[in-house]
Structure 1
Amino acid sequence: MYPYSFGLVINPFAGIGGAVALKGSDGAETRSEALARGAEQKAEKRVAQALSVLLPYREHIKFITAAGNMGADVLTELGFHHEVAYHAASVQTEASDTQQAVTAIATQKPDLLVFAGGDGTARDVALALQQCARAANNENGNGSLEELPVVGIPAGVKIHSGVYAITPLGAGKVLEQLISGKLTTLRAADVMDIDEDAFRNGTVRARRYAELQVPGELEYMQAVKIGGKESDELVLADIAADVIESMDDNTLYIMGSGSTVDFLMSELSHKNTLLGVDVVYQGKVEKADITGAELEQRVLQAQQNRTPMALVITLIGGQGHIFGRGNQQLTPAVIRAVGKDNIQVIATKAKLQALNGRPLRVDTGDAELDAELSGFIAVTTGYHDRTMVAVQG
């Protein structure tokens, strides 16, 4: 009755540290602090967005999943047939729950494993599959469980790994193409992660931990991030000069994360939160490393006072994301308040060329806003130099 069997595991706490400026969600203390700051759990919503693509195929898919908010709840809501293979001992799930759920699901040999989270979740999935493969190899000489194809639904703060789809909708499209027989090849993708403590102190230390098999559809599956800072200071100086020339002390500037914006802030003689969001007003840093909730209040105040606003952001090298990766403080409410016409994307042409023709990506968590932001945008690539680049949600 069900020709397709998919596993599903959700890390329900993935991404809760992003909008409240904690730059990650690893560890019970971080999760508790994020919830205390008013963070929302959005992983299930992102899974629902991905799986909504599969609603026309409901009668052909069986899911094997974990109980409650690790999978069963969203499948029940969407009306998918499913079997529960794992029950977490507590509502506050841990990495061990992800690993045990993956193990319980993988041993039932689904066609593919879908999981939602960030890089820490991808590491947990890889570890569990490796352990399953070793156990199977010891038992019967067949370690094929490690080759179980996976599709990651991005829901975390850190998404360095190449096992994730570009967006939740992209993950759904990959699964739809598998069901319709349009995808036949698999490729190895790196599982990457960074040191969250170093990340909070402004240092990116990315490391490759494992490989997993993913569908070879590059249109929907993301590339591994390019590490390191921009090195062409002359180009960055030109970009900074262009932005600074147009700045007005009476405008509220929201400065996004990343090394290109960091260079601009240094040219303004401002201290900068490399991996956070800062607010600049009347020539000073009004608020450094601002949270999503704080920023929403600030832009509301600006609207009430009729204060002009501008948002300066860059893209993630290798992926092209301008929203939804490492800058969740820029919530849909903030982006709408600023307005599309007041968003200034800055990047070197080398960074754009490294995308090999792929569009810039927006993944705000709001499908309607993603559609509004899609189209073309003029990226500042030098002094009085603009490059038209496509944007897709």
Structure 2
Amino acid sequence: MFKLGVIVNPVAGAGGPLGLKGSDALHSSDGRSEARAVRCLAHLAAGALGRVTLFGYGGAMSAQTSIGGEVAGLPFVAVGQPLSEAVTQAADTKAAAQALLAAGVDLLLFVGGDGTARDVFSAIGTSLPALGVPAGVKMHSGVYAVSPESAADIILALLDGGLVDIELAEVRDIDERAFQEGRVRSQFYGELLVPRIGGFLQHVKAGGREVEELVLADIADEVIAEMDAETLYLVGPGSTTQGVMLALGLDNTLLGFDLIKDQQLLATDLNAEDIGLALARHQGPVKVLITAIGGQGHILGRGNQQLSPNLIRQIGRENFMVLATKTKISGLAGRPLLVDSNDLALDKSWEGYIRVITGYRDSIMYRVSASGE
């Protein structure tokens, strides 16, 4: 079940017909943003076939008239309520975004304009993928789908196992000082992680096939670019993860775990006990590099059983970096990535969507399922 967080700014876009440059100062809705939210969610419901549950604040902030009901035919779970249903504020958007992050939603869908995007960014940063439905007066940010239906189509592609890129997109808003001087100029406020429908856009040769050596090198470059000197890295089995070690010029255990820090090799071919001792000695952050088994899709429990359920829990899902080529993901034909740690409760806690590094500055979102389900 895909857990979709939703935030609607009820006054977004209401300033447009009044000739205003935004809706920040308004305290009443003309229904535009709610109508666009319903358009998006109805389109989503028609294709989701029972695979999506909505989470959000009750009432207008989720295009819902009463807590506990449905929104556009989708089941709804309330995670809170705005301070005032009559007058919602930026603080409500921020609080709702933080509540949805805590609820563990797979994606945050927000309906509004640049001011709404700023509020969402200030609440969650890049901790949670987010996608905007355009409804505002000011639309300078790059975080919005081109229409409500397009936003739904991106989510449907995720549900169907499509290649949905996830990348940083700019949050911008009008530079108020410049505007007061009669100049329209946008100001950069930050970046959100935004899913986009993409394809084989880089390193594609004739026939639309990836050149594996180039892609593995690109994946390695991206991992190395994200590395920092204080983090301990466990590099798991597989030729995809081996590419990182080759790029660093380090020896590699193709079927085992190696340990590196500050791009230096500390130990090779670690077993579960070795990994536990290494974690106990290290005081800083830890990351684990794993890859999917081609054709099967397992990312845990096949070939990397040195990671016991206790170790996986100790490290935390958020500290696993999944690496795979788009060719390998396409080979799953929409089937999910699988976890089989021999602990079904742990496996189910991994269900949802995870970032998969597929190249340099190139990542996708992809579904994870417990293999016992």
TM-score under structure 2 length normalisation? 0.49
Normalized per residue, the structure richer in helix is: 1
TM-score under structure 1 length normalisation? 0.47
Normalized per residue, the structure richer in strand is: 2
